[in-house]
């Protein structure tokens, strides 16, 4: 509890006790409860009305003097505590916004999450656990309060506005996740984000099947169709209940890395640069070069298309990202294959 709130609480308790004692004192003097309350109010506020009954004894007059002294002190106390509480709250709010602005200005290579619904909350939790910097844009007041309690960097605003995206540092961001449960809004945000940062990695959520094309045309690098992922996962549980079906799903990779590590196997992701010696060559050449010490389970094309369990005849293209299983400690040798050209 803050000091201002504690003072306000103590002032309210003090004033309540003083008024209660005053009402009890007048009732002992023979006044009714309503008359006692009325007398206590007009005495402490000094509104100028006459007493409901004459104060005709020295004891009652002395009691009234004490009540005036302590009652006025109590109201002054609670008034000053209330002012302190309001002013301190405004100062803390301004300081909090200033700290938030400084933190946003210092961000670089971060992720912007548009929307803090069910998907946005899960994404923020995962990024926070991994220690990856991110900022959330949310216009819903209730959700904004939840974000603030969680301690995440956030902007209270509409993600469809370029000002909100700029405030989130979109020019310095590496990725933006557009996960608002509205296809039309997601397309608009994607278009704005691509305009503000042509090099930005845009991952957008789609609901309707027809939205995927629109999101890609608007500039999305990857489109996540929630219904498709759910259907594929259910089918995988039915057709491939073993560990193997998880390899083709990004969501499963994080959950099985520990198990693979115990077997001396790790999951690696490598980018195919234009200078790579294996560009425009089939995977069979790669496996021969690497002595079959790894297994490629997915290829992500530059345009976002994904090839699960690619065949040996599949050719690697510049800009591809490959996902592979390999023995622990062999990554440097594989990375070397992707960074050098064939000697002439």
Highest mean pLDDT among 38-52, 67-81, 128-142: 128-142
- The whole-number pLDDT of residue 96 equals 57
Domain-embedded: residue 17: yes
Whole-angstrom Cα distance, residue 99 to residue 104? 9
What average pLDDT does the segment 297-307 reach?
Answer: 84
Q: Mark whether 209 and 115 lie in a shared domain.
A: yes
CB contact burial 314-326 (16+ within 10 A = b; e otherwise)? bebeeebebbbeb
Contact 322, 298 (CB under 8 A): yes
Instruction: Tell me, yes or no, whether 114 and 212 share the same domain.
Output: yes
pLDDT of 235 higher than 80: no
Query: Coil, strand or helix: which one is 207?
Result: coil
Query: Given 88, 103, 118, which residue is the final one in a domain?
Result: 103
Residue 122, domain member (yes or no):
yes
Q: From residue 305, how far is each of 15, 36, 67, 179, 199 by CA, in Å?
A: 70, 82, 81, 19, 18
**Residue 328 has what pLDDT?**
64
CATH of the domain at 303: 3.30.70.1450
Residue 251 has pLDDT above 50, yes or no: no
Which domain range does residue 44 map to?
3-103
Give the C-alpha distances (Å, rounded to integers) separating 145 from 82, 153, 246: 23, 12, 36
Do residues 194 and 131 both lie within one domain?
Answer: yes
Q: What is the pLDDT of residue 242?
A: 40
Mean pLDDT of 280-301: 73
pLDDT (tens digit per residue) in 2-22: 566 777 788 888 888 888 888
Do 62 and 121 lie in one domain? The reply is no
Instruction: Give pLDDT, residue 215.
Output: 92
Q: Where residue 200 falls among pLDDT bands split at 50, 70, 90? A: very high
136 shares its domain with 183? yes
In a domain, 86, yes or no: yes
Cα dihedral value 39, 40, 46, 48, nearest 10: -10
For residues 111 and 99, membership in a common domain is answered with no
Considering the domain boundaries, does residue 209 fall inside one?
yes
Answer yes or no: do 43 and 70 share one domain.
yes
Q: Report the CATH number at residue 23.
A: 1.10.287.70
- Nearest-angstrom CA–CA distance, 88 and 105: 25
pLDDT in tens, 147-185: 888 888 888 889 999 988 988 889 999 999 999 989 999
pLDDT band at 246 (very low <50, low <70, confident <90, very high): very low
For position 188, which CATH number holds?
3.40.50.720
In a domain, 238, yes or no: no
CA dist., res. 117 & res. 122, Å (int): 9
- Domain count across the chain: 3
Query: Is 22 in the same domain as 47?
Result: yes
- How does the average pLDDT of the chain come out, rounded? 77
- For the whole model, what pTM was predicted? 0.48
Question: Does residue 234 fall inside a structural domain?
Answer: no
Same domain assignment for residues 99 and 122: no
Any domain includes 237:
no
Q: What pLDDT shows up at residue 111?
A: 92
**Domain check: are 35 and 99 in the same one?**
yes
Do 34 and 120 share a structural domain? no
């Amino acid at each position: 509890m803050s000091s201002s709130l504690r003072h306000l609480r103590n002032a309210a308790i003090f004033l309540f006790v003083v008024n209660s004692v005053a009402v009890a004192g007048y009732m002992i003097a023979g006044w009714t409860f309503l008359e006692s309350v009325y007398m206590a109010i007009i005495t402490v506020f000094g509104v100028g009305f006459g007493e409901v009954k004459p104060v005709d004894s020295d004891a009652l007059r002395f009691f009234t003097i004490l009540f005036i002294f302590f009652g006025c002190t109590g109201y002054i106390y609670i008034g000053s505590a209330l002012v302190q509480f309001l002013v301190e709250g405004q100062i803390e709010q301004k300081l909090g916004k200033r700290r938030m602005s400084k933190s946003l200005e210092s961000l670089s290579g971060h992720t912007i999450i548009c929307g803090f619904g069910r998907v946005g909350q899960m994404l923020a939790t995962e990024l926070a656990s991994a220690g990856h910097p991110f900022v959330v844009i949310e216009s819903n007041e209730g959700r904004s309060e939840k974000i603030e309690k969680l301690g995440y960097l956030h902007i209270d605003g509409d993600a469809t506005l370029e000002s909100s995206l700029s405030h989130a540092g979109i020019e310095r961001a590496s990725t933006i996740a557009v996960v608002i449960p509205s296809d039309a809004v997601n397309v608009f945000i994607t278009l704005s984000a691509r305009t503000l940062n042509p090099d930005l990695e845009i991952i957008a959520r789609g609901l309707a099947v027809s939205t995927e094309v629109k999101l890609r045309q608007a500039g999305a690098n990857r489109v996540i169709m929630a219904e498709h992922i759910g259907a594929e996962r259910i089918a995988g549980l039915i057709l491939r209940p073993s560990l193997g079906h998880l390899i083709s799903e990004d969501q499963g990779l994080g959950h099985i890395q520990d198990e693979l590590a115990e077997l001396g196997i790790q999951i690696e992701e490598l980018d195919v640069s234009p200078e790579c010696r294996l560009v425009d060559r089939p995977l069979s050449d790669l496996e021969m070069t690497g002595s079959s010490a790894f297994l490629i389970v997915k290829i992500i094309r530059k345009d976002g298309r994904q090839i699960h369990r690619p065949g040996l005849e599949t050719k690697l293209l510049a800009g591809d990202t490959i996902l592979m299983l390999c023995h622990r400690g062999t990554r440097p040798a594989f990375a070397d294959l992707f960074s050098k050209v064939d000697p002439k």
